[in-house]
Amino acid sequence: MTALDHQLLDVNGITLSLYSAGPLDGYPVWLLHGFPECWHSWRNQTQALAEAGYRVLVPEMRGYGQSSAPTDPAAYDVFSICADIQAAMNALGQDKLCVIGHDWGAQIAWHLALLEPQRVESVVGMAVPFGGRAKKPAIEIMRQIHADSFNYIVYFQTPGVAERELDADIAKTMRMMMHNSSAAVPKDFFLQAKPLGARLFDGMQDPGALLEWCSEEAFAVYLQTFDGRGFYGALNWYRNFERNWELSASIAGQRVEQPALFIIGDKDPVATLEAYTLKRMPELVPRVEQHVLEDCGHWIQNEKAAEVNRLLLEFLARHA
């Protein structure tokens, strides 16, 4: 296995836990995880990229693991989270690099590409496409559509509600999240219709065991990420749709002009949620190269690690 370095950086008013691997003089590649994962979700990519000579940087994002988890939900807007990464880049003296993100990490990667057009020379998004700034916050639309039915993002909005369910059994929560939005279940099983007042895991399957792409050793790192803390920091990312929209006025209409790669699984429920955005993305990211991986759910970098690594290495070879 590739040797890992670890450091705690004081940046942007928080402590940022950062893992890194590969030669110190290698081209920097940042890997940003999503919800509810951890830095170790990039274990396959960290090794492959480091062995290829890249300097790989994998933070525990704000609210996760050893990084700070502010109690105020307003501390988790995308621009504050981008500022964490930007300050870390400054501290490490990096002026040219690639940013790769999955799920919420993809949102941060797309925004870093907008905010840092000179430093971020190329960008990769997985699962979550770039849709630009909407005419109004997406949460308003979700609340209207789901006024009489369950929606998991609406369910996440009130502090303490989702925490009571997710924190009750962290191992079960992680098994359920991994299983019910992977290729092990029918497409969009995670999005099944439920009545208002339902909970996240109502109607879903508890596999009772780990999926083949997550070993017991890897799962232990996921659990450690939330041990003693629970999910409140991770859930707070979802509580900033209005704030993100208000703060993004200055970049409204901007396109991601850098070379870009987008990868999604054919069974990822996000593909259903973001169907319109996926069609529109080439207008907003004119240099994007898109790939849909077959028999793959939401956890793309582990469900299809070899295919993802191949696409990343080919992309970086052209643009890093």
**Residue 255 pLDDT class (50, 70, 90 cuts):** very high
Active site residue 298: yes
What is the model's pLDDT at position 1? 66
Instruction: Give dist(CA 184, CA 178) in Å, integer.
Output: 9
What is the model's pLDDT at position 2? 78
Residues shown for the chain:
320
- Domain boundaries along the sequence of the chain: 5-319
Instruction: Give the residue among 92, 96, 68, 78 at the shortest CA–CA distance from 32.
Output: 78
pLDDT in tens, 230-254: 999 999 999 999 999 999 999 999 9
CA distances from 86 to 16, 65, 110, 177, 211 (A): 11, 19, 13, 30, 35
Instruction: Give dist(CA 250, CA 198) in Å, integer.
Output: 38
Active site residue 103: yes
pLDDT in tens, 270-318: 999 999 999 999 999 999 999 999 999 999 999 999 999 999 999 999 9
The residue annotated as part of the active site, out of 77, 84, 103, 268, is 103
Q: 3-state class of 281 per DSSP?
A: helix
Mean pLDDT across the chain: 97
Tell me the pTM.
0.98
Q: What angle do CA 160, 165, 168 make, to 5 degrees?
A: 105
Above pLDDT 90, what percent of the chain? 98
- Just give the CATH number of 5-319: 3.40.50.1820
Rg of the chain over Cα atoms, rounded to whole angstroms, equals 18
What is the model's pLDDT at position 43? 98
What b/e readout covers 139-161, taking b as 16+ CB neighbours within 10 angstroms? beebeeebeeebbbebbbbeeee
Q: 3-state class of 90 per DSSP?
A: helix
CA distances from 143 to 116, 148, 218, 232, 265 (A): 33, 9, 36, 21, 27
